[in-house]
Copies of this chain bind each other. A is one copy, B any other.
Amino acid sequence: MKQYHCPVELTLDVVGGRWRVLILAHLKQGPLRYGQLRRLIPDVSEKMLTQRLRELEADGLVLRDATHEPELRTDYRLSPEGETLAPVLQGLYDWGLARAERTGVVVTPPGD
């Protein structure tokens, strides 16, 4: 049992770490397949991506539907609970963008 002294800690439990927020931010745009996520987040390893997706699933933020027909294929998308994070994710995105402009940092979309 963990003790929370501030609501922010709760949010951090869910979106904390290096990858979770990134995954959620991409899924916010719409459902994505495993391979698509990998391409959108080029620096994540398969292990991390799978691990974080499982955790997000367990936390009820992400839904997963897999089919094996005609071939193996898995879609991930935000659950209703996950959708409630949209404003937060948007805020993180917007601030990052503005900060990039202020500091002259370049953001390179993985458009390859």
Contact = CB atoms under 8 A, between A and B. Distances in A.
Interface of A: 3-12, 14, 16, 18, 21-22, 25-26, 40-43, 81, 84-85, 87-89, 91-100, 102, 105-110
Contacts of A9: 22, 96, 107
Nearest to A10: B96
B109 A5 contact: yes
Chain A contact residues: over half helix, strand or loop, or mixed? Answer: helix
A100 B7 CA distance: 7
Contacts of A18: 12, 16
Among A26, A43, A99, A110, the most chain B Cβ lie within 10 Å of the Cβ of: A99
Which 5 A/B pairs are nearest by Cβ-Cβ distance? A7-B96, A10-B96, A11-B96, A7-B97, A88-B91
